[in-house]
Amino acid sequence: MPELGNDTVTIHLDGVPASAQAGDCAASALLRRAPHFARRSPLSGRPRAPFCMMGVCMDCAAVVDGVPSTLTCQTVVREGMTIERQVTLPAVDKGGSDV
């Protein structure tokens, strides 16, 4: 594990290369770059930003490496990671049973 504050990694935030401190959570990278939010509320469309930073409030959810609704406060950045602000709800597979 890298020592905190000693190394930087390059991530891709909304398709744009950005620097992040090795060992930081992805939520901190989102908060450092405008616009300062992680997702939009599915009800109101208003921006939501990381709040509790411990995985409870879900306001830090974003698309990380193609996986929607990833809790960025619980995800450590790594070289080449992609983070996209989540502006829609993830698609729901409607196939399967008729239950």
Q: What CATH number has the domain bearing residue 35? A: 3.10.20.30
DSSP letters, the chain, are -PPTTT-EEEEEETTEEEEEETT-BHHHHHHHSSS--SEE-TTT--EE---SSSSSS-TTEEEETTEEEEEGGG-B--TT-EEE-B-SPPP----S---
Q: Domain residues for 75? A: 8-84
15-68 pLDDT, tens per residue?
A: 999 999 999 999 999 999 999 999 998 888 899 999 999 999 899 999 999 999
Instruction: Assess if residue 41 is contained within a domain.
Output: yes
Beta bridge pairs of residue 83: 13, 64
Instruction: Assess if residue 95 is contained within a domain.
Output: no
What's the pTM? 0.80
57-98 pLDDT, tens per residue?
A: 899 999 999 999 999 999 999 999 999 999 876 555 455 444
Instruction: Assess if residue 57 is contained within a domain.
Output: yes
Instruction: Assess if residue 47 is contained within a domain.
Output: yes
Q: How many domains is the chain partitioned into structurally?
A: 1
